[in-house]
Copies of this chain bind each other. A is one copy, B any other.
Amino acid sequence: MALPMNQLGVVKRNIERADKAAVARLAALGVATIHEAMGRVGLMKPYMRPAYASAKMCGTAVTVLLQPGDNWMMHVAAEQLQPGDVVVAACTTDNEDGFFGDLLATSFQARGAKGLIIDGGVRDVAELEKMSFPVFSRAINAKGTIKATLGSVNIPVVCAGAVVNPGDVVIADADGVVVVPSLVAAQVADAAEKRESFEGEKRAKLAAGVLGLDMYNMREPLEKAGLKYVD
């Protein structure tokens, strides 16, 4: 991602969305599992939390770069939404204003969007819950925004520490938010499903009282590392 100069003021209309089948498979998996399967990359910072307890989502990213205190680009983004998309909004600076509320949620939902990930604040959270429009944000804040400054839509953004390219798969659940590049979506789904398939057996063993020390053969490496048992 060679960041060009003057990347503000641009809307990219045609983006390559991740394969729908891969998205569907990823939607059935948890964020922690997917993150492991990817080799532990692509996770947003843990300050991103659901606006209401049951919020979760999976979809393809339409990205937005906002200016502080200004949500003009959210309206521009609405037009670019296709069913199954998730809006991923970054800001040019740390800002917790309430960039998003129930009216924009109504518009996004009408366009088929699956939710919003925003490195900023949102409001009308009681209404968002009633609408079942999931949002993950860094803050809840009643403070509204203006519509005066250009940002961009569908350029690569850094959102809560993670690079998001338009079309990437974004999955959010109670454990956080992870981004899967569209090119590797199927591959990551493979790896994550495989990983998950192993977990049932492990869980059964552990539930039966087998220790991880034995199940993972850790006793020898621990001893080699110098672990000492004392009474």
Interface pair A46/B103, CB less than 8 Å apart: no
Partner of A148, one of B4, B97, B148, B203: B148
* Size range of the chain A interface in the assembly: 35 or more
Given the interface pairs A1-B163, A158-B161, A174-B126, the reply to whether A110 lies near B209 with Cβ below 8 Å is yes
Interface pair A123/B32, CB less than 8 Å apart: yes
Interface pair A96/B96, CB less than 8 Å apart: no
Interface pair A39/B8, CB less than 8 Å apart: yes
Please measure, in the bound complex, the distance between the C-alpha atom of A203 and the C-alpha atom of B182, giving whole angstroms.
33
Q: Which of A31-71 contact B (CB under 8 A)?
A: 31-32, 35-43, 45-46, 49, 53, 67-70
Q: Does A20 touch B at the CB level, under 8 Å?
A: no
- Copies of this chain, tallied across the complex: 6
Which residues on B sit within 8 Å (CB–CB) of A98? 32, 175
Interface pair A181/B95, CB less than 8 Å apart: no
Partner of A203, one of B67, B102, B142, B146: B102
A residues contacting B by CB (< 8 A) are: 1-14, 30-32, 35-43, 45-46, 49, 53, 67-70, 72, 74-76, 78-79, 92-98, 101-104, 106-107, 109-111, 121, 123-126, 139-144, 146-150, 156, 158, 161-163, 165, 173-176, 178-179, 181-184, 187-188, 191, 199, 202-203, 206-209, 211-213, 216, 218, 222, 225-231
